[in-house]
Amino acid sequence: MRADLAVLAVRNILNRKRRSWLTVIGIFIGIAAVVALISLGQGLDQAITGEFESIGADKVFVTPGGDPTGSTSFSQSSTVIRDSDLRAVRRARGVDEAEGALMRSTRLTYQDSTAFASVVGIPSGSQLLEESFSFTIDEGRMIRGTDRSGVVIGSRVADGVFEEDVELRRKVGFQNNEFRVVGVLEATGDPGVDAAVIMPYDRAQEIFDTGDVYDYVVARQQAGFEAEQVKENIERSLRNERGLDEGDEDFTVSTPADILSSFQSVLGIVQAIVVGIASISLLVGGVGIMNTMYTAVKERTREIGVMKAVGAEDRQIMILFLLESGLIGLVGGIVGVTVGLGISKGFVFAARQYSALPLEAAVSWGLIVGALLFAFLVGALSGVLPARTAAKLEPADALRYE
């Protein structure tokens, strides 16, 4: 009997194709927006997770101040980490090695072009810092300790300062000095890396007259130690070095898991807000289905009366109309999922053409099936009131309806 009701529901929808398709529009727009946003959000989450996994789980990061994300963005903090603090980090139990970097913002000049960049001073040959910052040479070479006037520039610096393709050995100016470009980094999609200028730590220290200070420290944990354990040991060692009580820290020690968790929390909140806004169109689509079903009840009053007169129960009438509204929602869901995935794929393609963002469009059966079930549920719920109205019609009154 239920199979017969389903066949009848499909037939009734096909009998009013134009109205059904107009009703579907409201649902598929909402589903397409939600699917595209969730796909991009999940893809971004996977990309961020992959980036942190590439950094390695054996590293612990120390930054001045109380930045809870432990961000690697190259911004100058109001506090610094001194050379004595770096030695304290190295002394902490479970630390295999530790290196520090100096970071300062400056304005680069080349002929008539200018661009803002972040100068990153690192010890030459520091694989630990190169891994942590994802510094990978695309052209030329990495800095050496003998590079008094040599720098490596990020891809965004190369594109922003030089109007044509950058050539090695060209000179850029900042801080009243000229520096020769010895290498260009691969584009990463990370603005902090792509807009960076890398030079030897001691040369950056001399140019900016900073003394023995660091803005960022990376420590590699020894084998056999847990990241959280090493993190606590570093915090304890730095508190002892600075004479601070627990809870009064003016520095932040973070593991990759801490940073990833912070990013995912922020991303989750943003995604929930955006998806919530996009879902408003689903509400509009639901109202459209309800209006369509009320109209159908009015037009088919005599038909409902005939069905009841030949023995159809109220429950069967209600199921018929719920199936119709649910199927309208499902069709909208199918179209919406197709369009939504197409939008997300198109956005990723466009992003890759104009930037190096590590963005992917996540596609999973869970997302597809969930979206279709949700669309069917929205349609079915929108048809509850019209279905109840149809089920409560009295056969005699329905048959007399003109």
pLDDT one-digit tens code per residue, 176-218: 888 888 888 888 777 778 888 999 999 999 999 888 889 989 9
pLDDT surpasses 60 at 396? yes
Same domain, 16 and 84: no
pLDDT of residue 25: 81
Has residue 261 been placed in a domain? no
Same domain (yes/no): 158, 232 = yes
Same domain (yes/no): 91, 36: no
Mean pLDDT calculated for residue range 234-259 = 86
Phi-psi sector, 189: left (phi>0), alpha (psi -120 to 50), beta: left
From 254, 280, 308, the end of a domain falls on 254
Q: Is the dihedral of CA 190, 195, 198, 203 positive or negative?
A: negative
The first and second tokens of residue 312, run together, are 């159809």
60 and 254 Cβ atoms separated by less than 8 Å? yes
Q: What is the pLDDT of residues 52-65, one digit of tens each?
A: 666 666 888 998 87
CA distances from 72 to 25, 205, 256, 259 (A): 44, 19, 11, 10
Does pTM surpass 0.75?
no
**Do 273 and 363 sit in the same domain of this protein?**
yes
Give CA–CA dist 161/150, Å, rounded.
16
Question: Do residues 102 and 235 both lie within one domain?
Answer: yes
Q: Burial of 39 by CB count in 10 Å (0-12 exposed, 13-18 middle, 19+ buried)?
A: buried
Where does a domain end: 194, 229, 254?
A: 254
- Please provide the size of the chain in residues: 402
Cβ 236 vs Cβ 62: under 8 Å: no
- Whether residue 203 sits in one domain with residue 276: no
Does residue 10 lie within any of the structural domains? yes
Residues 86, 228, single domain; the answer is yes
Decide if 225 is inside a domain: yes
- pLDDT at position 4: 64
The pLDDT-based confidence of 120 (bands split at 50, 70, 90) is: very high
| pLDDT of 267 higher than 70 | yes
Task: Please state, in angstroms and rounded to a whole number, the distance separating the CA atoms of residues 336 and 38.
Answer: 13
DSSP string covering 257-325, please? HHHHHHHHHHHHHHHHHHHHHHTHHHHHHHHHHHHHHHHHHHHTHHHHHHHHHTT--HHHHHHHHHHHH
260 located within any domain: no
Specify whether 95 is located in the same domain as 140: yes
Coil, strand, or helix at residue 103? strand
Say what the pLDDT of residue 234 is: 92
| pLDDT band of 262, cuts 50, 70, 90 | confident
Residue 69: which pLDDT band, with cuts at 50, 70 and 90?
very low
Report pLDDT for 74: 47
Weakest-pLDDT range from 115-129, 133-147, 226-240, 386-400 = 386-400
In whole angstroms, give the CA distance from residue 35 to residue 59: 36
Mean of per-residue pLDDT scores for the chain? 81
* pLDDT tens, residue by residue, 9-36: 667 666 666 777 777 887 888 888 888 8
**Percent of the chain having pLDDT more than 90?**
13
The answer to whether position 259 is within a domain reads no
Residues 150 and 71 both lie in one domain: yes
Count of domains for the chain: 2
Q: Are residues 247 and 105 in the same domain?
A: yes
Query: How high is the pLDDT of residue 358?
Result: 62
> Cβ(36)–Cβ(341) under 8 Å?
yes
Residue bearing the bigger pLDDT, 153 or 356? 153
Residue type present at position 310: V
For residue 172, list its beta bridge partners: 179
Q: Burial of 350 by CB count in 10 Å (0-12 exposed, 13-18 middle, 19+ buried)?
A: exposed
Question: Which residues form the domain of 210?
Answer: 58-254
Element (H, E) at 206: helix 201-208
- Condensed to tens digits (0 to 9), the pLDDT of residues 84-107 reads 999 999 999 999 999 999 999 888
What confidence category does residue 75 fall into, taking pLDDT thresholds of 50, 70 and 90?
very low
pLDDT in tens, 323-358: 888 888 898 889 999 999 999 888 888 877 665 566
Q: What is the largest CA-CA distance in the chain?
A: 100
Q: Is residue 345 part of a domain?
A: yes
Alpha carbon of residue 202 to chain centroid? 37
